[in-house]
Amino acid sequence: MTGWTRRFFLTRFVPAMLSGWLSACRTVLELSPTPRPFTPTSLPSPVEVITAALEALRREDPAALWAILTPASQAVLSLDELRALWRNTMSTVSVQAVDIEPLALIQEGETVQARYRIRWKTVLFGDLEAEGVMMLRLLPEGWRVVWRDALLWPALGEGERLQVEYIIPERANLYDREGQSLAVQGEWVEIGVVPGQITDERILLQRLARATGLSPEAIRSRYAFGRPDWYMPILALPSERLTPFAADLTATPGVTLRPRSGRIYVGVAPQTIGVVGKIPAEALDQWRRRGYRGDEWVGRMGLEAWGEPYLAGTHGARLFIQPKAANASPRLIAERPFAPGRSITTTLQRDLQAHAEEIFGDRTGAVVVMDPRNGDLLALVSKPAFDPNTLIWPHSPPPPPGAFLNRATQGLYPPGSIFKIVVMAAALTYGFTASSLFQDPGYWDGLGPGYRKWCWLKSGHGLIDLPTALTFSCNVAFYQIGFALYQQDPDLLSRVARAFGLGAPTGVRGIPEEAGLVPDTAWRAQQGDRPWSVGDVVNMAIGQSDLLVTPLQIARMLAAIANGGVLYRPRLVWRIGPAPGQPEETFPSEADGHLPISEEALRAIRQGLLGVTTHPRGTAARAFQGMPFLVAGKTGTAETVPGRPPHAWFAAYAPADQPELVVVVIVEHGGQGSAIAAPLARQIFEAYYGLPRTPLPALPAQEDR
């Protein structure tokens, strides 16, 4: 073929011929959800091989590309090496997706060159685009791709690699509603020991024990196996906390203090605030794809995890090509400036949170404090808890079992008699009135003599109306209501419960939560054991059966009773601070539902709740004796596993005539709600209003089931 003929063939005939190939490639690369697999034994055409290779680049499938490399290329680059090289390249540049566009193909004898355009969509640098050339050779086994490092990125020469230089902004702070810090960047001091420098171990252990709170035995165990010249870290403390001991420690032979910056936590609401931690090795590639270098401390739970995109800011970065020659200068190909982190202001009230945690003590359970007027969460207590400051440094003692569970939003409990609020609302909406009367002899035989059910007060409450039944928490009255509602519709009570916000997430922003469970006919059918029955509804009418709720759901429900029927989405995140080019972002309170009951029914329920703390026979009357303002609430004692004490509940709002605070307390296996949970709730009300704290009384058990 003459030179002119070859030029004509390549510039006129081949482009026309390629139009069909380009169309086919685009179909494969862009439209086909499952690309046709390549099989080497079929001796495919160059177009098919290139199509498969480009598709492998697009799908980030090194195995598919390696399978069609020439044997010589495979000999110098194993599949494992290609996988590692590919993974490191894509994560280094934070590639999220790859687009490929075929451009042209030129064949000369037993070689083919295919031009293509590649586009990386990256987190750090936006879209990066370049044109590359892929070379094929015809071998006895068919057409094969020749490996070149430029297949990783067209601008790479052989042996060159992409490298990123990061600019990492300081992590922003978390604040309470009054601007008090909850988590901040601050100065730490790591305390270490060099064993060979110790001159008086008794004094060293004595001083370290005073500074760290660790026992001498625990301190010694942390350096006992170190070589004489090794630095052995003992514990890290915020610099302010270490200040009173710094002079003595500095003067102690063998002790070394190393300052460093890091996250400092006030120590309240740890499950809600969360904690930062190192990126786990198994998640490193994922985080690098998000634009992280990989050695940062990132949010691992709570608001620290949810708020990571705000708190961490935007990493700045410069992308270089690092030449193979040691003395060659890197070539800059892209860069992005950093953006500072943005602070998060919560609705929590730090001082109240600290008081509530101290009042709850070492019990297991949860507290929710909410403003019923807008759904703001003022305190979220979950015990057992942990100290986040101890988790972010080596040699930290493990937290107690279950400490990471946020029981305020993730703890699932039968509500016990708290649920009678919902049952009363259903009764007032479907056939009963506030003046409906119930006779309670202490038991109920509505399911037949063989299925007698008892009131918690074995002598019975006598003849009472509906609000009084709520005040006294009379089981017999609510058995009768559950039975009557079932006769109307087996799922009626379940539907009302869902309308009160139970059985579904509340929508709280920033922390995980559980949906709970409101059982019904369909749910029981899914279990496949037995059909839904009247006995299920009768049990549910006193808050038992398979019903499960979270303390947050109960607080939201009671807030709606207090505020006139509005179900607010609980608000924890109040606002996100500004940054250059980004204005402050606020999260207004959101009303996302309304209780399906009348004003008259609400008044009757409130009357019954007020009687709980004010009527001489109210189940929490003794716990609230002498309270300077009216409190409306409901006790609950929820049966759990046989042989263990019940869960103790109390849910209340105050002042009863102008509600501005809701408090929900649950103590796991705590016993009677009136004796255990109600006094704790009183102390939390007193802390909020700045009143002297009433000592916890030794109240006799008087609560219902």
User: What residues does each domain of the chain span?
Assistant: 3-158, 174-336, 416-569+592-599
Same fold, 3-158 and 416-569+592-599: no
Taking the C-alpha atoms of residue 618 and residue 609, their distance in angstroms, rounded to an integer, is 9
Quote the percentage of the chain above a pLDDT of 70.
Answer: 92
At 15 the pLDDT is 43
Phi/psi-derived region of residue 118, left when phi > 0, alpha when psi is between -120 and 50, beta in every other case: beta
Taking the C-alpha atoms of residue 203 and residue 239, their distance in angstroms, rounded to an integer, is 22
Residue 398 banded pLDDT, cuts 50, 70, 90: confident
- How is domain 3-158 classified at the architecture level of CATH? Roll (3.10)
Residue 237 banded pLDDT, cuts 50, 70, 90: confident
At 11 the pLDDT is 40
At 394 the pLDDT is 62
β pairing state of 181-193 and 174-175:
antiparallel
pLDDT tens digits, 490-531: 999 999 999 999 999 999 999 999 999 999 999 999 998 899
- How is domain 174-336 classified at the architecture level of CATH? 2-Layer Sandwich (3.30)
At 25 the pLDDT is 44
Residue 80 · residue 141 · CB < 8 Å: no
Contacts of 42 (CB under 8 A, 6+ apart): none
| Residue 277, Cβ density class (10 Å: 0-12 exposed, 13-18 middle, ≥19 buried) | middle
pLDDT above 60 (res 28): no
At 397 the pLDDT is 72
Q: Which residue has the higher pLDDT, 701 or 135?
A: 135
Residue 37's SS3 state is coil
Residue 640 banded pLDDT, cuts 50, 70, 90: confident
Return the structure tokens found at 231. 């630095």
CB half-sphere exposure, 418, CA atoms < 13 A: 38
pLDDT tens digits, 175-202: 999 999 999 998 889 899 999 999 999 9
Q: Where are the beta strands (DSSP E) in 392-515?
A: 437-440, 443-444, 453-454, 462-465
Residue 277 · residue 394 · CB < 8 Å: no
Fold of 416-569+592-599: Beta-lactamase (3.40.710)
